[in-house]
Chain A
Amino acid sequence: MRIVRLIARDELRLMLRNRVALIAFALIVLLTLVAVASSWSHQRGVAELRERHQHEAEHAFDAQPDRHPHRMVHYGHFIFRPLSPLAAFDPGVDAFTGNSMFLEGHRQNSANFGDVRQSSLLIRFGQLTPAFVLQIVAPLLLIFLGFGSLARETERGTLRLLMLQGASRRQVVAGKLLALGGVALAAAAPAILGLLVIAGQPGALGLPLLVIALGYLLYLGLWVVLILLVSAWVRRSRDALLVLVALWAVTTVLLPRAVPDLASGTVPLQNRLQTDVAIGRDLRRMGDSHNPDDPHFAQFKQALLDRYHVKRVEDLPVNYKGLLALEGERLTSELFDRYAAQSFAAQARQNGLVNAAGLFSPAIALRGLSMAAAGTDFAAHRRFLEQAELYRYALVQRLNRMQAEDVSYADDTATDAGADRRKRIGGAHWRAIPDFHFVAPTDATLARAALPGLVILSLWLIAALALLGLATRRLGAHR
C-alpha cells in the first residue's frame, strides 16, 4: 500500500508541475462554478416566473364574473409546469418542452413557449449546466491529465526502473488509479457541492440526489479506468491520447446525437394534423352530437327520457344541453387519451432505443440516469401532460355539470332579451373549483427510473476494470 501511495503521490506531483494541466484544472473548476451559479439562478428565475404566471391565471379564473358555465369551458385555464428543484443541476428537456398549457373544452392543446423556440441558435450547442460540465467536459480533462500515465512510463522505459525497485505492475497501476481518481473527485467536487447547495432548497429530494451523485462518480470512475486501460494498452502516449479523444468524441458527442436520430427514424410519430383529423374521424363514427339522426346520441337521449320517465327533453329535471356537453366531452376525451397514449408509447419506444444504446456509450446511460433522477426527462414531462389532461377533464366536466344542474333547459334555449342574464350562474362557482396542483413524483419513483442507467454504468465499470486487470498483467511486455 505504501508503494501504491508513493506512486500516486509521484503522479500527482508530476501533474502539479505541468502548468497546462493546472490551468485546465482551474478552468474546469471555474466553469463548474459558473455553471452552478447561472443554472441555479436561471432555474430560480424560471420557477418564480411560472409560479407568478400560475397565480395570475388562478386569480383571473377566480375573478370571472357571473357567466354561463359553457363560457367558462371556453375561457379555460392556463397551467404552468413547475420546475423540479434538481433542474438546477440537470434541466434535461425543460427548455425543449413547452411549459404553459391552455386547458379548454373539446380540445387538447399543446404545451407552448418552450425556451428552445425563444432562444438564439446557441442553445442547440448545449446548455451550460453542472450536468453538462461533468458529462462532457470533465472526461476530456481527465484524458488530458491521464493519457500518458502508463504509456509514458513504458515509452520512456521508466516502468522497468519502477519494477526493478520492487514495485509490481499491479501496484503501479493502482497508484496511477489512485492519483487520477483523486483528480476526478477534485474535479467533480464543485459540481457535487453545487448539488448540495441546490439540495438545500425546500422540496429537493434526498434519494434522487444520492443516485445522481453515485451515477456521476461511477461515470468519472469509469473514465479513469478507461484512460488507464488505454494508456496501458497503447505503447506510445500520442496514440493513447488520440485513441482516448476519439473514444470520448464518439461516446459523448457523436452517439448521443446519432442514436436519437436513428430512433426517431425507426419509430415514427404521428403529427398533430393527422392526429386531429383521425380524432375527428373516430368521433364521427362514435357519435356526432351535431347530427340530429346520430344513432349514438339518439340512443343517449332515449335512455335519458326512459330513465326519468318523460317524453320530451324539456320535461327532464336536468338541463339536457348540459348532459349533452358531458357526454360529448366524455367521448372526445376518451379519444384524446387513446391518441395521447399512442404518441407517448411511440416516444417511450424511441427513448427505450436510445437508453439501450447506453451499452455503447456511458454518456447516454448517464444522461438518462441524470435526467430521470432530476425529474427533468420525458417521463417527467409526460407526468405533467397526463396530470394536465386529468385536470382539464375534471374542470370541463364540473362546468358541464353546473350547466346541467344549475341552468334550466328553458333558460338555456331561450333567446329573448333577458335570457342572457338568466343563463348565468354566480361567480362563486368558479372560486369553488380547486386549482391545479402538480403532484410531484416521490423520491422512490425518481430513483427507480434512474436504476437502469446505474446498472449499465456499473456493467461498464466492471468490464473496464476486468480489462484493466488483463492489461496490467501484460503491462510493458514487448509485443
Chain B
Amino acid sequence: MTLWRHELRLLLRQRLSVLALALLALLTVAALGTGMAEVARQRAAIAAIPSAQAEDIGAVADYVVRTRDAGSAAYYSFHATWDAPAPLAFAALGMRDVAPYILRVRALGLEAQIYDGDTFNPEVALPGRFDFAFVLVFLAPLFVIALFHDLVSGEREAGRQRMLDALPRGGAALRRRRTGLRLILLWAALGLPFAVAALVEGVAIGIVLLVLGVIVAYLLFWIGLAALVGRLRWSSVANAATLAAAWLVLVLIVPTLGNVVIDRAIPVGQGAEIALAQREVVNHAWDIPREATMRRFYATHPELADSPPLGSDFHYKWYLAFHQNGDESVAPKVRAYRAALERRDRAGRAFGWVLPSVGVQALLTRLARTDLTAQLAYQDRIRAFHARLRSFYYGYVFYDSPFGRDEFRRAPRFDDRAGG
C-alpha cells in the first residue's frame, strides 16, 4: 500500500498530470451541469404543457359548444404528446436537440403531422452537444494520452529504466501500479461526478454501475493502445504524436467516413415523398364521389359502416374518412421509410462494435433513450395515441352525437408511460 502512496505522491508532483486530472474533472462537471440544465429545461417545457393546453382547448370548447358539433371539435382540437427525458438523458442528449420532444396532433391525417419538428437553432445543433458523452468519448482519450504516452519512454529517456527494472517490485509490477493508479484517477475524475449527478437525477443503480463499467472499459481501450504504442520503444514525442493521430482517426475521421458509407449503402427514400403522396390522396377526395371515399373507408373500418349515410351537406365524417384513407394509402411507404431508418441506425451501431468511440456513444444514447430507437418509439406512442383520438372522435362524429364540455373533458389524454 505504501508503494501505491509513493506513486500517488510522485504523480501529484507532476504539474502536467495534476492539471490534466483537475481539468478533466472540471470538464466533466461542466458537461454534467449543461446536460442537467438542458434536461431541466425540457422537463419544464413539458410541465408547462397542461396549462397551455387547457387555455387552447378551452377556447376551442367555447366555440364548439355553440353548435355541439363533434366534427368541429375534432378539427380544431390539438392534443399534446410529449417524450419525457429518461433519467439518464442528461448524460447523453443524443437526438433530443434536433427531434421534437413535444408534438401536438389532431384527429386528421397523421402522416402530415408526425414529421413536424420543433424550433431549434441549427447552428447550435451543428457541432453537437456538450454533454457527458462528449467528454467521455472525445476528450477523455486525450487525457489518457497525456498521462500515458511517456509512462515507459519517459523513464527510459531519463535514464532510470534499467534501474527501475532491477528493483524488487519494479519493472512490470511498477508499470502495473502506475497504470492502475492513473486509471483509477482518470476514472474517478469522470465517474465520481457522473455518479453524483446520476443519483441526483434518480438513475437506477444498475445503469449507473453499467456506465461506470463502460467508462473503465473505454479508458482501458485507450490505455491499451498507449501501451501498444509504448512497446515500439519510440521517444515520448513520437508516442504522443502517434497516439494523437490515432485519436484523430478513431474519433473523428473514421466515424465521418462511416457516415458517408452508410448514407451511400443504405438509401433512405425521402420522407418528403410520403408527405407529397398523402396530400394527393387526401385532396383528391374532393374530386371523386363521396360514396367512393366512404366505401373505401368502411372496408377498413366495418365497425362504423352502420352509421347513418351521408346527406348532401358537408359532413365531417367524410372529411375524417378521407384523411384516414390518405394515411392508409401511404402506409407501405411509411413502413419502408421507417425500415430504412432502422437499417441505417443498425449499421451505425454495428460500427460501434469495431469502433469504441461510436460504441460508447451508441450505448450511452441507448441507455439514456435519446437515440433514433427512442425517437421511433416516441412516434409509435404518438401513433397509438392518435388512433385513440380517432376512435374517440369517430364515436361522436359518425353517429352525430352532440359534443359538449363534458366530452371535451372526456377526450383521450396522452400518457407518456403507457405507450400513448
Contacts and interface: CB of A to CB of B under 8 A. Distances in A.
Nearest to B116: A110
Interface in A259-309: 260-265, 268-277, 280-281, 284, 288, 290-291
Most buried by B among A65, A67, A238, A275: A238
A238 B240 contact: yes
A252 to B, nearest CB: 10
B98 interface: yes
Interface in B362-382: 362, 365, 371-372, 375
Given A261-B129, A272-B100, A242 B283 contact: no
A122 B348 contact: yes
Contacts of A422: none
A71 B78 contact: no
Contacts of B388: none
A119 B375 contact: no
B240 A242 contact: yes
Contact of B240 (A64, A118, A245, A381): A245
A76 interface: yes
Chain B interface main SS type: helix
B48 interface: yes
Given A121-B358, A238-B240, A378 B344 contact: no
B30 A258 contact: yes
Nearest to B341: A118
Given A119-B259, A125-B255, A265-B34, A347 B48 contact: no
Nearest to A152: B237
B262 interface: yes
Most buried by A among B126, B128, B134, B362: B126
Most buried by B among A78, A261, A265: A261
Nearest to A262: B34
Nearest to B266: A120
A269 B42 CA distance: 12
Contacts of A60: 276, 280
B115 A34 contact: no
A360 interface: no
A49 B263 CA distance: 15
B313 interface: yes
Contact of A291 (B38, B63, B365): B63
A122 B256 contact: yes
Interface stretch (B117-125, B216-224, B299-307, B403-411): B117-125
A238 to B, nearest CB: 5
A116 interface: yes
A112 B275 contact: yes
B205 interface: no
B371 A121 contact: yes
A50 B286 CA distance: 28
Interface stretch (A93-101, A201-209, A221-229, A400-408): A93-101
Nearest to A248: B244
B349 A237 contact: no
B275 A100 contact: yes
A120 B240 contact: no
Interface string A115-149: 01111111111111000100011001000100110
A113 interface: yes
Given A53-B272, A378-B121, A112 B263 contact: no
A215 to B, nearest CB: 17
Interface in B217-245: 236-238, 240-242, 244-245
A102 B259 contact: no
A125 B126 contact: no
A49 B270 contact: yes
A214 interface: no
Nearest to A23: B245
Contact of A113 (B80, B119, B124, B271): B271
Interface stretch (B2-10, B49-57, B179-187): B49-57
B365 A78 contact: no
Contacts of B270: 49, 53, 113
Interface string B99-123: 1101010000000100111111111
A320 B109 CA distance: 30
Contact of A260 (B59, B127, B279): B127
Contacts of A238: 150, 236-237, 240
A120 B119 contact: no
A165 interface: no
B195 interface: no
A272 B121 contact: no
Nearest to A91: B126
A410 B168 CA distance: 106
A127 B128 CA distance: 11
Contacts of B100: 272
Nearest to B145: A245
A281 B117 CA distance: 22
A257 B260 CA distance: 22
Nearest to A80: B272
Contacts of A92: 126
Most buried by B among A38, A78, A281: A38
B138 to A, nearest CB: 6
A249 interface: yes
B382 to A, nearest CB: 14
A119 B313 contact: no
Contacts of A270: 119
Contact of B56 (A118, A268, A280): A280
B146 A242 contact: yes
Contact of A277 (B56, B128, B130): B56
B121 A75 contact: no
A241 interface: yes
A306 B20 CA distance: 80
Contacts of B115: 112-113
B110 to A, nearest CB: 14
A100 to B, nearest CB: 4
Given A56-B276, A96-B122, A127-B256, A121 B41 contact: no
Most buried by A among B122, B260, B351: B122
12 contacts: A24-B245, A67-B287, A76-B279, A121-B372, A125-B255, A125-B256, A126-B252, A237-B237, A241-B240, A264-B124, A271-B45, A271-B118
Given A127-B256, A245-B244, A416-B312, 19 more contacts: A31-B253, A53-B273, A93-B123, A102-B112, A102-B279, A118-B268, A121-B348, A121-B372, A125-B251, A125-B252, A126-B256, A128-B257, A148-B237, A242-B16, A245-B145, A257-B130, A268-B41, A290-B63, A371-B123
Which 5 interchain pairs have the tightest Cβ spacing? Answer: A120-B348, A125-B255, A93-B122, A128-B256, A122-B259
